[in-house]
Amino acid sequence: MSVKTHGLGVFLELRKRLQSGLLVVGTNVAGGPADVAVSVGGDSSLLVRTPRGELSLALPAGVAFETGSCIHTPVGEPSGEELHFRLRITTERSKQEGPASMMETLKAKETYSFHCQGCTTRLLEDRVFSRVLPLPNGNWNAIVDDWCCHPDPFANKKLLPRAEDCLLGDTFVLVARDAGCDHTLTQEKPCHRLALVSCASCSSVLGEAVAPGTLKLYITQVVVQPAVGDGRNSVRSSFLEKTVAARLLDLSSSLSSFHFSLQTPDGKVVLLLWLLNADSIIASVPETCIREGGSSGPPASLSPSLRAARALKLLYISCSSASTQQREIVTSWEVNSIGHPMVLPLQVCEELLQVMDESNSTLPASMRCMRSYEVRRLQKPP
């Protein structure tokens, strides 16, 4: 899907581990390096002054700009449309940043409610799980021969939860169906191998019925939270990218794998993802959001809500629209079994691709591609 490219205003990327950063300013905002000044603002914010005005970018706690460290670096600037500056930051050691994901926080003996992410309808009766257990990773069945010296004992058998169990997959949870599901869920069978489960209120596909009494609910489609919550809705694109980012971070840590193959339940590969780093802090301001100003007048100010956000840096390839060079990479991944499989409904895969393309379009032209991959940043949960 074609996405309109945004005119570059100001782009900032900081790396906590390297304690350095890159500032990119469009030449429509500043004509030359002398037109750009970077300083420290109040509350650990970064002030970027240009002829168009002054931008205040609030930095996360524990991150601060090192005064006087901003240096113009012309290397890599394409067609004179961008000004690149290197800078240094200081960071403080902090505790682990918040809960990694919903999958990491589910616990036994606590009460949870399940809501449709699209319309906030309560889907299941409140649950108190006696056991919360992880399932084998997504490709366990393919390597079962390496575990057993006799015929596969798991052949044609499904791992299903008991009535008070919650089983955790890479991108889904398995839970027992309850009586209330007859009113909140609908079911259809588009083919003999797949029974889709949807929200009765908004018709959003939530998952599958993998057995008569078992539901497979995808983490991108439902909100699972302590029962005291109200199932409050959130913007779909923001929820999707934060949920997927948190899960990629969890899986890369637990599996020591940084390559992921995003595919549909029938095995169709839609996206190839390569996680480069998880310590980026970014802010992107389109040219249209920077008001015209002048050096003689008061600087134009931007909304105080503008903040630099923590993000994952990814490379990605869309398998459906891959170029010749990208197709060679896709083939290499397939032949060499590169990429941990992550299964999501086709509609969700397409939504995620759209979110990625939108993010890619906000990057400076010099940072949108890397060795035939597209570059994407997924915002992490706060």
CA atoms of 274 and 332, how far apart (whole Å): 14
**Confidence class for position 202, pLDDT limits 50, 70, 90:** very high
Helix (H) or strand (E) holding 102: helix 102-105
Instruction: Please indicate, yes or no, if residue 1 is contained in any of the structural domains.
Output: no
Positive/negative CA dihedral, 244, 249, 254, 255: positive
Give the pLDDT confidence score for residue 4 in this predicted structure.
52
**Confidence class for position 109, pLDDT limits 50, 70, 90:** very high
Domain shared by 112 and 217, yes or no: yes
Domain shared by 92 and 108, yes or no: no
Which residue, 226, 252, 287, sits at the end of a domain? 226
Task: Of 34-38, 232-236, 264-268, 366-370, give the range with the top mean pLDDT.
Answer: 34-38
Question: What pTM was estimated for this model as a whole?
Answer: 0.86
Instruction: Please indicate, yes or no, if residue 232 is contained in any of the structural domains.
Output: no
Domain shared by 362 and 285, yes or no: yes
Q: Rounded mean pLDDT of 135-161? A: 67
Q: Rounded mean pLDDT of 95-99? A: 52
Q: Rounded mean pLDDT of 352-371? A: 88
Q: Rounded mean pLDDT of 239-244? A: 93
Give the pLDDT confidence score for residue 321 in this predicted structure.
84
Helix (H) or strand (E) holding 151: none
Domain shared by 41 and 76, yes or no: yes
Give the pLDDT confidence score for residue 24 in this predicted structure.
93
Decide if pLDDT at 277 tops 80: yes
DSSP state of 300: P
- Percentage of the chain modeled with pLDDT above 70: 85
Give the pLDDT confidence score for residue 255 in this predicted structure.
86
Domain shared by 63 and 180, yes or no: no
Instruction: Please indicate, yes or no, if residue 3 is contained in any of the structural domains.
Output: no
**Confidence class for position 97, pLDDT limits 50, 70, 90:** low
SS3 17: coil
State the average pLDDT for the chain: 85
Give the pLDDT confidence score for residue 66 in this predicted structure.
94
Instruction: Please indicate, yes or no, if residue 176 is contained in any of the structural domains.
Output: yes
Domain shared by 53 and 109, yes or no: no
Domain shared by 177 and 88, yes or no: no
Positive/negative CA dihedral, 340, 342, 343, 348: negative
Give the pLDDT confidence score for residue 298 in this predicted structure.
44
Given a contact cutoff of 8 angstroms between Cβ atoms, the answer to whether 379 and 241 are in contact is: yes
Q: Rounded mean pLDDT of 91-110? A: 74
Give the pLDDT confidence score for residue 138 in this predicted structure.
59
CA atoms of 20 and 322, how far apart (whole Å): 33
Instruction: Please indicate, yes or no, if residue 133 is contained in any of the structural domains.
Output: yes
Instruction: Please indicate, yes or no, if residue 140 is contained in any of the structural domains.
Output: yes
89-283-238-17 Cα dihedral, nearest 10 degrees: -20
**Phi, psi of 184, rounded to the nearest 5 degrees:** -105, -15
Range in 204-213, 232-241, 278-287 with the lowest mean pLDDT = 232-241
CA atoms of 366 and 59, how far apart (whole Å): 24
Q: Rounded mean pLDDT of 4-12? A: 76
CA atoms of 238 and 235, how far apart (whole Å): 5
- CATH at residue 131: 2.170.150
SS3 248: helix
Residue 2 or 151, more confident: 151
Query: What are the helix (H) ranges across 262-345?
Result: 324-335
Tell the residue number behind the tokens 């575990």, with chain if given. Answer: 147
Q: Which domain holds residue 286?
A: 8-96+239-379
Decide if pLDDT at 100 tops 80: no
Q: Is 305 exposed, middle or buried (0-12, 13-18, 19+ CB in 10 A)?
A: exposed
Model confidence over 308-339: pLDDT tens digits?
888 999 999 999 888 888 999 999 999 898 99
Model confidence over 24-79: pLDDT tens digits?
999 888 989 999 999 998 778 899 999 988 888 999 888 999 999 999 998 666 66
Domain shared by 249 and 183, yes or no: no
CA atoms of 39 and 228, how far apart (whole Å): 44
Residue 140 or 41, more confident: 41
Give the pLDDT confidence score for residue 240 in this predicted structure.
94
DSSP state of 29: T
Instruction: Please indicate, yes or no, if residue 231 is contained in any of the structural domains.
Output: no
Tell the residue number behind the tokens 């027992």, with chain if given. Answer: 176
Give the pLDDT confidence score for residue 5 in this predicted structure.
53
Number of structural domains in the chain: 2
CA atoms of 261 and 139, how far apart (whole Å): 11
